[in-house]
Chain A
Amino acid sequence: MGKVGKLVAAALVLVFIASFAAGCSSPKKDPIKIGIVAPLSGGAAMVGDTQVKGVALAIKQINAAGGIHGREVIYIAEDDEQIPAKSVSAVNKLVYNDKVDAVIGTVNSSATLANMEVTRKAGVPQITPISSNPKITKLGNEWIFRLQASDEHQARAIVDYAVNELKIKKPAVIYQSDDYGTGGKDVIVDRLKELNVNPVAVEAFAPDAQDMTGQLLKIKNAGADGLFMWTMYAQAALIARQARQIGLDVQLMGGGGLTNPKLVELAGDAAYGLLNTQTFFPDKEGASPEAAAFIDAYEKEYGMLPDSNAAMSYDSMMILAKAMEAAGPSLDKKKVRDAIAATRDYRGVTGVITIDEYGDANRDILIIRVKVGGGYEVVWPKR
């Protein structure tokens, strides 16, 4: 899967449109349109694909239960290749051509930072399921909401765990030099200072870098006993392997961007023991009833386990639907926005969510560890 993301997505759209055309004969009213902006091709195509899947599953369930105000819901997915400029044109198309009622997306933080200006100007509510750069909700844009725990929350959680539980004294930080990486790095460094721990090295690498040994050697020479990395799983895999090659044997830690089965596939045993934050983990035994039902439905629909992005996207759509119900049949966009902002203690599949004054979801954060041989286990909160 994810191999022909764009085609799959296009096919999904067609299937959905076709199924409505064929299956639902009763509704005479126009459907409610949800715009999805996601990387359907390019380096993050796999993540974009699960975003569409999560929203699509939610819409399917909503329609099965009678839609919103008796109207059916459809979605229109646009590819942004996680390039900010393309993301802006994608959202422009959704807002002005397709006249969507709300936008869900996107994955990449830099792309969200760029495209959320479009929805702000047009006054269209937007929820990004997993863009985690702290800036997104701190720019005074009241039309953007985020379900993912921001990097700020995630980074603080992993730093607290490292310092309080693992007793790490000489941590180093390595990050990719874009909005996502820099945002995470800043929070880590600040939080470490608050806990009176000084990072022994703070190193950057270009988002397309392949060889990080120069940085890792410096970190090794600085005598680090733990390494925070703020990047995505593919480069984290490179870092894990290269760290081992130069004999840098320290606890590796990071954010939600690292959770992916590919990490272990790429890094092999070098990834064992790696710790990272997570907000959703497809573990049926330990799951809440909501999460368990979601995991089942998702598996039945797509023949695979949902990743955290699918779950976040599912919750995004569900919160949006609830807000649309609350805002009344006119679907006045300002009222929908206010209803999203008023979300309190919503029991989603990713946990209990309260939208705070900035539009950020307040939620519990898990810390998970890569098991020897692959797979994850939850290490925090302790059971």
Chain B
Amino acid sequence: MFVQQVIQGLAIGSVYGLMALGYALMWQAWAVLDFARGEAAMIGAFSILVFHSFFKIPFVAAFPLAIATSAILGYVIQWLAYRPLIGGIPINRLIATLGMGILLRNLARVIYGADPYPFPTVFGDKPVSIGNVLVVPQNVWITAIGFALVVLLRLFLTRTYTGKAMRAAAQDRETAALMGIRVKQSMALTFVLATCLGAIAGLLVAPVYFVRADMGLSIGLRGFASAVLGGLDSVTGAMIGGLLLGVTENLAAGYISSGYQAAIAFSIMILILIFRPQGIMGRRL
């Protein structure tokens, strides 16, 4: 049962990890805890729902379309609500993100209603047994895509000029501008990237947890917890934080008490904050 619980935890954990990456990117580039992060998942999930389920576009084509839609929406959102607050008081930015989250959730509710929508499984949800462990192909794909995206993101941030410029702008806006880096553009790109990662998380879980207007709330909260666990300034840490949270939640349900599943997971987060405030992989603050 232990192995089974861990395998289940890894799948949901890599989704948390993708969300956590968004928090980490936003923290670094915009110096804000972006509480509208979860809504990126909702946007991604509804985009794929519209393209694949309503317009009947095949998944392989609907997937990039959904990502592109999310990217465009992400750009518009940052331009509307985030960019005007650059350089302002940090608490204003924080409140703006909270407001944006509520706005997006309610907008989705008005457009799509409050009921969940089913989304067909793409990777297969019939379990396959390996030894005495059951593996759902869908979960394997989710985990694999999660890992692949972390590797790609790391490569992007460390191997390309655009990625390095994003890091530079995140670390020192003024000096980055001196290098000729267009900082606002770079920040917008970071936002779009974070939104795309969230959108991918959202459309990966769409077949598993359905598509609903308020789906961003719980997935966003867990992404935030994962980012804090792993360290807000580390890409690898964010992913590890996500996996850790996913596995802990599952083990807590299996071995301790399911009634306290969330409480146990968040207690660990609080313990980390007390004893290692920079997160597992984070730099000392």
Interface set of A (CB-CB < 8 Å, partner B) = 2-5, 41-46, 177, 203-206, 208-215, 217-218, 221, 234, 237-238, 241, 244-247, 262, 265-266, 268
* 22 examples of A-B residue contacts, CB within 8 angstroms: A2-B113, A42-B109, A43-B114, A43-B214, A45-B114, A203-B253, A203-B258, A204-B257, A205-B258, A205-B261, A210-B219, A214-B8, A214-B249, A214-B258, A215-B253, A215-B261, A234-B210, A234-B212, A237-B116, A237-B118, A245-B139, A262-B115
B134 and A204 contacting across the interface, CB-CB below 8 Å: no
Distance (whole angstroms) from the CB of A178 to the closest CB of chain B:
11
Q: How far is the CA of A146 from the CA of B19 in the complex (A)?
A: 43
Q: Does B209 contact A (CB under 8 A)?
A: yes
Contact present for A214 and B129 (CB under 8 Å):
no
Per the bound structure, the CA–CA distance linking A213 and B219 in Å amounts to 16
Counting from the closest, the 5 A-B pairs by CB-CB distance are: A214-B253, A3-B113, A204-B259, A214-B250, A45-B114
From known contacts A204-B259, A268-B118, infer whether A211 and B250 are also in contact, taking CB-CB under 8 Å: yes
Q: From known contacts A3-B112, A46-B113, A241-B125, infer whether A211 and B1 are also in contact, taking CB-CB under 8 Å.
A: no
Residues of B within 8 A of A3 (CB): 111-113
What is B's interface to A at a CB cutoff of 8 Å? 1, 4-5, 8-9, 12, 109-116, 118, 125, 127, 129, 134, 136, 139, 205, 208-210, 212, 214-215, 217-219, 249-254, 257-259, 261-262
Could you tell me the distance between the alpha carbons of A266 and B209 in the complex, rounded to whole angstroms? 9
A214 contacts B127, C-beta separation under 8 Å: no
**CB distance B125 to A262 under 8 Å?**
no
Q: In the complex, how many residue pairs between chain A and chain B have their CB atoms under 8 Å apart? A: 117
Tell me which of A209, A212, A217, A237 contacts B4 (CB under 8 A): A217
* Alpha-carbon distance A241/B116, docked complex (angstroms): 15
CA distance A241 to B33 in the complex (A): 34
A215 near B1 with CB under 8 A, answer: no
Known pairs A4-B113, A210-B215, A214-B258 / 14 extra A-B pairs, C-beta < 8 Å: A42-B109, A44-B114, A45-B109, A203-B253, A205-B253, A209-B262, A210-B12, A214-B252, A218-B1, A234-B115, A237-B116, A246-B127, A247-B129, A266-B116
- Roughly how many angstroms separate A265 CA and B259 CA in the complex, as a whole number? 28
Interface centre among B8, B115, B214 (most CB of A within 10 A): B115
Nearest CB on A from B161, distance (A):
39
Partner of B134, one of A42, A221, A241, A247: A247
